[in-house]
Amino acid sequence: MKYSDTPYFKVGRASDLTGSDRLVYRLLEIFPGFLSWGTIIGTILLSFFAPIVAAYFIIAFDLYWFLKTIYLSVHLRHNWRRIRYNLALDWQDMLSKLKYEHIFHLVILPYHTESLEVVEHSVSALASVNYDKKKIALVLAREEKAGDKSKEIAETIKHRYGSIFGDFLITAHPAGLPGEMAGKGSNISYATEMARKEILDKKSLLYEDVIVSAFDVDTVPYKDYFLTLTWHFLTAPDPHSVSFQPVPFYNNNIWHAPAFSRVVAGSSTFWQMMQQERPEKLATFSSHSVSFKSLYEVGYWQKNMVSEDSRIYWNLFLARNGNYGVLPLSYPVSMDANLAPTLWQTAKNVYKQNRRWTWGVENLPYILFGFIKNKKVPFLTKLKTSIVQIEGFWSLATNPIMIFLLGWLPVVIGGDKFNKTILSYNLPFLTRNIMIIAMLGLVLSAVIFISFLPERPKNRSKYAKLSMVFQWVLIPFTITIFGAFPGLEAQTRLMLGKYMGFWVTPKHRKN
């Protein structure tokens, strides 16, 4: 029996299972939260009962974090160079050396209550990419429950852009289908199946020649995205054993977003850039592309969970017994940074969006359970993948808290006896100095961030660019408040079985 045929292949949560499987899956759901809370509580207890040991641990941890920062900066810098190289490359010329006329692109653009302006911005960008648009089918995947306004938007877009693309399909995902959770996964799966019937099959296209790009509705591909994607698809050793991941830039509205939102958006881009140089740690995220053949084999994206963008990767990874990867494109697509009418609302949205992203921790029990069940995945692959994933979620939720909040704890709660030691006097200085040196790396962040900025709108002061540099001092706050805290909340919810639903990030544009 193939793993993709098992009843637990598309499990969303423990309650979808029965018997011992359910218990094991539930324990695996508890595990990440238990580990993160255990680390934080353990550090607090250690600071109280054995402050000297805690101080040693904190110094070693600070050093580890500092060296990790250097390591990641090397990756970031290399990817920066690679993206700039790729942006300057003549992809049309590169592709012209290959036979690519048979390749067909299916672009899925799901939306819910987003405005015409947001949808049109993405569609008009798609309409102006450097690629034969007749080889692109655009599927506007709307939610039926979004009502007439959403339908009007789809019709308006079709009227304005329908003739540009080879095919233009509007789908309306019905609400409340059995076994589905309201969210992007169920919508794009429905839309892709409709596109198969209405476009691919009617045109008798070979599934292996079709590349699906599942975009968030605010995704604006850079001009050569489809040329780049097609070239990588055709030159990959096995294009059906990899997903294709662009780098998300949050540039659409970056000049109007407040500083903390820009820093969070920039940090997210940097993280993806670093991961592009470490593909073994990369899973698909947000807007991504994948061969239709692979998608069809596993029945598209999961419909019963939130993080469908990364789950599809793990579905394929387990279905192919570990023989599946992500091919980093090192080529950008642009998306929206969080922006709401008020600063407070923006802050809330940034927090909620990061909580949804870090809810990707729901993949961890899925992966570990899959490794228990699928004996065909090599042990070493299981071990390496498990360590990478566990460390990833653990460090996201705990490291900023340990670095920025718990570094001084032994001095505060370690007692007078500890406070009379040289160690207690040196601990805050050492921690502070390591952090200051590590923060020098932010200069690189500022340079990279500025190098990718779109042109400054006329209504923005020329000093606005200065704030794009100085904003990076907010990093200790943003990675704690909008990184670790939502990450910890997501893990706690999973641990307690308080499952999250899909939260659509509101898209707001300022003119």
Partner 1 sequence: MYSLSSKKRLWYRISLAVIFVIAAPLLILYASGYRLDDAFKLASTGGIYISAPQSGVEIYVDNELIRKTSAFQKNAFVQNLKPADYEIRVTKEDYQEWSKILSVFPETVTEAHSFLLRKEPVLVEVRSLVSAETDGDRATSTATTSIKQIKNPEYDIAIKLFEPIKTSTLKKATSTDIEKVSRKLSVLRDGDILRVTWLGNMDDIPGYFCRNEICKEEIIINPNSKIKHFDFFPGREDLIIMSLENGIYVSEIDDRSKQNVQKIVEGGGYDFRILEGDQIYIKKARQIFVLNQA
Shortest Cβ 62–partner 1 spacing (Å): 8
Least distance (Å) from partner 1 to the CB of residue 434?
Answer: 9
- R_g over Cα of the chain: 23
Residues that bind partner 1 (CB under 8 A): 55-56, 59-60, 63-64, 67-68, 70-71, 74-75, 78-79, 81-82, 85-86, 276-279, 328, 330, 415-417, 420-427, 430
**Considering only CA atoms, which of 249, 221, 229 is closest in space to residue 448?**
249
DSSP string over 428-476:
HHHHHHHHHHHHTTHHHHHHHHHHTPPPPPTTS-TTHHHHHHHGGGGHH
Residue closer to partner 1 by CB (options 78, 158) is: 78
- Cα–Cα distance measured from residue 178 to residue 447, given in angstroms and rounded to the nearest whole number: 49
CA distance 118 to 147: 17
d(CA 263, CA 324): 32
Handedness of CA 49, 53, 55, 58 (dihedral sign): negative
Minimum Å gap between C-beta 505 and partner 1 is 30
- C-alpha span between 54 and 48 (Å, rounded): 9
Note whether 231 and 95 are within 8 A (CB): yes
Find the shortest distance in angstroms from Cβ 70 to partner 1.
Answer: 7
The residue type found at 152 is E
Question: 234 vs 464, which CB is nearer to partner 1?
Answer: 234
Instruction: Please measure the distance between the N-terminal and C-terminal CA atoms of the chain and give it in whole angstroms.
Output: 56
11/427 with CB nearer partner 1:
427
Whichever of 64 and 470 has its CB closer to partner 1, that residue is: 64
Identify which of residues 81 and 375 has a Cβ nearer to partner 1 in the complex. 81
Residue whose CB is less far from partner 1, 74 or 443:
74
Nearer to partner 1, 86 or 386 (CB): 86
- To partner 1, the closest distance from the beta carbon of 56 in angstroms equals 5
Up-side HSE of residue 169: CA atoms within 13 Å toward CB? 25
> At closest approach, how far in Å is the CB of 430 from partner 1?
5
Least distance (Å) from partner 1 to the CB of residue 30? 31
